[in-house]
Amino acid sequence: MEYAKQLVAQPTTIPGLTLFDLPVHGDNRGWFKENWQRQKMTELGLPDFGPVQNNISFNATRGTTRGIHAEPWDKYISVAAGSVFGAWVDLREGSTFGTVFTAVIDPSTAIFVPRGVGNAFQALEDNTAYTYLVNDHWSAEAQEQYTFLNLADSTVAIDWPIPFDEAELSDKDRAHPPLAEVVPMAPATTLVLGATGQLGRELAQQLADRPGVEFLGRDRFDLADPAAVERIDWRRVSTVVNAAAYTAVDEAETPHGGRAAWEANAEGVARLASACAQHQVTLIHISTDYVFDGAKDGAYSESDALHPVNAYGTSKAAGDLAVGVVPRHYLLRTSWVIGDGKNFVRTMQQLAERGIAPSVVSDQLGRLTFTRDLAEAIVHLRNGDAPYGTYNVTNAGEPGSWAEVARRVYAATGRPASDVSEVSTEEYFGGKAVAQRPLNSVLDLAKLEATGFAPRDQWEALEEYLSVSLP
């Protein structure tokens, strides 16, 4: 064992498998080390993997050999006493399937083993204590999701230092299959909730060719159902995109609608957030400009205080606060969503085709959010290096009013823009039992753009949307 090494992270031939040199301090009494130090190691690139269980494997005799097991969780491995020859084989789906890495692990060394990488070791000394942190709790049911490989497989050809006829192996480990018979471990699943909505349909189109994406409509995952979260096997999930919500803004002002909005947007999201936090799942949650009162002079930033003015906005704001406790979260605030389905643009287009001259509010200002751009932003944030947190996501360009949007739709449909007359929000909703709307829905996009994502100009996107949808 080497004393006084610097803490260093070393990449290996297997993606995600990272070897660490650990500083060990010794004197006449023995030695001391920081075996796992979250802050220092995450700064060096160790995933903040959230260990929940610490296991120790004691090996009484030199030559004790265990593995090769790939588990559906991450592990961080070191040695408390003695030393081992470690062998790792990538058993995940992909081009690196079957790749091998070996190293000697003693108290001055540690290794991070990602989900799906097969792990094995051989004790090089008597009384070796092999220790590992895992980020899920072991159970007999979890063992059914392991992927196994034979220790003596000739394809990977691991050069074990102690021949197996001199080693201690279990009968079970001797009986594991060769690489040719191993079914690779599938990637962890991305769940898309709200799959039948405008954004859900867009995500289904953009992610159709990607493996490991599962789309759940309300019939399979109802946010308002307390049991929905419990029915998910979270060990197989890496990411949740929550595009589901109760969105009947005016109905939410009624006693029944208010309860339904709170059950889905607040309580349901809180249950979802709790499960994601517990299981180290990345949560991508779609929120709304309605969490603000619309009274600000200028665009809202991600750090502005929440101040909703209606029941729907209040329920969404409560959901935002719940999502904020998830270590790995992206909370995306949008406005005026337009996609495949019922929306304001579609309504104006239908009115124009019928020759109707509508009155449209002109004192509510914002930007449209096309689901194409919103879905692309989700993929960009999830697959890039963007820090977790809250991001405003709308289309870019000069803000406008609903009346301006309507005029542009009419012009694109071949009707005079003058068919659209302007009216104030107060005049339009006067005497009607409806929810109060924020007059300013403009969201600042600087934080999103700083990640390298540039949404399209809303008016150019609207023109393209109408050109595709018109006959």
Which of 222, 292, 229, 298 has its CA nearest to residue 263? 222
Q: Could you confirm whether 176 is annotated as catalytic?
A: no
Q: Are 339 and 201 in contact (CB under 8 A)?
A: yes
What number of helices (H) and strands (E) belong to the chain? Answer: 12, 25
- Could you tell me which of 118, 93, 98 has the C-alpha nearest to residue 179? 98
Q: Cα-Cα-Cα-Cα dihedral of 8, 12, 18, 23, to 10°?
A: -30
Q: Nearest-CA neighbor of 339 among 468, 454, 192, 227? A: 468
| Active site (annotated) includes residue 388 | no
Q: How many CA atoms lie within 13 A of 415 on its CB side?
A: 21
Phi-psi region of 312 (alpha: psi -120 to 50; beta: other; left: phi over 0): alpha
Q: Nearest 10 degrees: CA dihedral of 388, 389, 394, 397?
A: -90
- Tokens in use for 210? 């990607």
User: 68 preceded by cis ω (within 30°)?
Assistant: yes
Q: Which is nearest to 194 in space by CA: 224, 216, 225?
A: 216
Catalytic residue among 69, 307, 380, 388: 69
CB 149 within 8 A of CB 71: no
Helices of type H across 307-424: 311-323, 344-353, 371-383, 402-413
Q: Summarize the chain as % helix, strand, coil (round to 5).
A: 30, 25, 45
Q: Half-sphere exposure of residue 105, counting CA atoms within 13 Å on the CB side?
A: 30
Are the beta carbons of 190 and 282 closer than 8 angstroms?
Answer: no
**Pick the catalytic residue: 76, 132, 246, 391?**
132
CA distances in angstroms from 436 to 316, 318, 392, 428, listed in the order given:
15, 18, 22, 12
Contact indicator for 212, 188 with CB cutoff of 8 Å = yes
User: Letter for the amino acid at 293?
Assistant: D
Query: Between the CA of residue 191 and those of 122, 141, 194, 276, 278, what are the distances in Å?
Result: 38, 22, 10, 12, 16
The answer to whether the CB of 271 falls within 8 A of the CB of 229 is yes
Structure tokens at 213: 């994406």
Which of the residues are catalytic?
69, 132
